[in-house]
Chains A and B, each alone.
Chain A
Amino acid sequence: MIRFANVHDTSMIMDFIGKHWKKNHILSKDKKLFFFQYKDESSLNFVISLTDDKEINGILGFIPFSDNKSDVWLAIWKVKENSKSPILGLELFNFLRNSKENGSIVCSGVNKPILKIYKFLGMNTGQLKHYVLLNNSIKKFQVCVVKRDVRTPIFTRNIENNYNLRYSSEERIDKLYSQIIQSNPIQKSKSYFIKRFFYHPIYKYKVFEIQKSSNTLAIIVFRLITIKNSNLMRIVDYIGNEKYLVNIGGILNQMMINENLEYIDFLSYGFSKNIMEKAGFKLVSANDEDLIIPNYFNPFIQKNIEINFAADTGIAEKLRICIADGDQDRPS
């Protein structure tokens, strides 16, 4: 039987994750984080498959991101190894898709072999791009690897252009979020955004507004990471027109110097390479051994990685995905 889960299924799902996904996986142990990601009043955002003995043999977790909850990130998708049905996973997916008829389904962080399944389902697939802004004043990098001269031109802050980064708050986001113009077919709702970045049980995010002459034009979210006695900052979400990134290149550069950051990086899809380069960022190639910008910090893995995604959104060229979307940027 396939059905949506409810809170009474919590222990069973967490046990399943620990036994069949990964032993000691944080979502099998940390109920607070589990509820943060998946609990929605009395329901749990999981489709589950049960055997005749009422045991779970497949799960599909999802995270609604729009106001009507019909648009979802797919998260954990796992079928028991000996389930004896090669299509059980697809049945879970179909159950969800049929219940969200007019919505979008997007998944970031897809294992490469699984991309085939999404392609078969007619979804757009691709890889996130990894951009980095290196701190030119750092003599010896601890977190990233820089073996050749890839340092970017220093952008000085141009006071005359009147652009500014303003530290934001839940109250301000509540008032101004709907004014930000977005062309992304993934329209993250205000309530999703506020919960994601102001109420995360473990991670602390810094939410800023990009302003011109005190008018807020876009929202940018950072997460500070300290590792190996070094600091770095990740842009984890961006709401609004990306062209404004060009206007804050100098501000980001100053921020790196002030906070002694090794670098600022941005793992994303759809953001114009031209704009990113004008803002001072370099594109990192996954197979570049001379420029390594890690993505995993707990445990720390000093490697470039590829993050695959699949999306069934209609307007592929306007699609924008950031690293905090879906089940990414989660403690492990």
Chain B
Amino acid sequence: MMKESEILKILQEIFDDIFEENSIKINQSTTSESIEQWDSLNHINLMSAIEIEFDFKFSLSEFMNANNLASIVEIIKYKIS
């Protein structure tokens, strides 16, 4: 079972790739509202990158709820468990 810190480390790399012009230090309280560039297109890019990295598919409801780090981490933990 992957540790939460390991998940966050991988997510940090994904966020660095997608929001490359801005160094954003993510943590469990990061939300889409705290990152200006987190719009609908970047949301798709984020979700696609997470799907590839962790090898699972978001359901539509998971996709809709994944607009903050806490939810994303919970979904990843559930999906890879």
Contacts and interface: CB of A to CB of B under 8 A. Distances in A.
Interface string A81-109: 10011111111001000000000000000
B21 interface: no
A116 interface: yes
B40 A79 contact: yes
Contact of B67 (A85, A116, A117, A121): A85
Contacts of B64: 87, 90-91, 94
A86 B38 contact: yes
A280 to B, nearest CB: 41
A87 B63 CA distance: 9
Interface stretch (B2-10, B41-49, B72-80): B41-49
Which secondary structure dominates chain B's binding surface?
helix
A55 B48 CA distance: 32
- Chain B residues touching A, range: 10 to 19
B44 A117 contact: yes
Contacts of B39: 81, 86
The main secondary structure of chain A at its interface with chain B is: helix
Counting chain A residues whose Cβ lies within 8 A of the other chain, the interface size class is: 10 to 19
A104 B33 CA distance: 33
Contacts of A90: 40, 63-64
Contacts of A299: none
Which A-B residue pairs are the 5 nearest by beta carbons? A86-B43, A116-B44, A84-B33, A89-B40, A86-B32
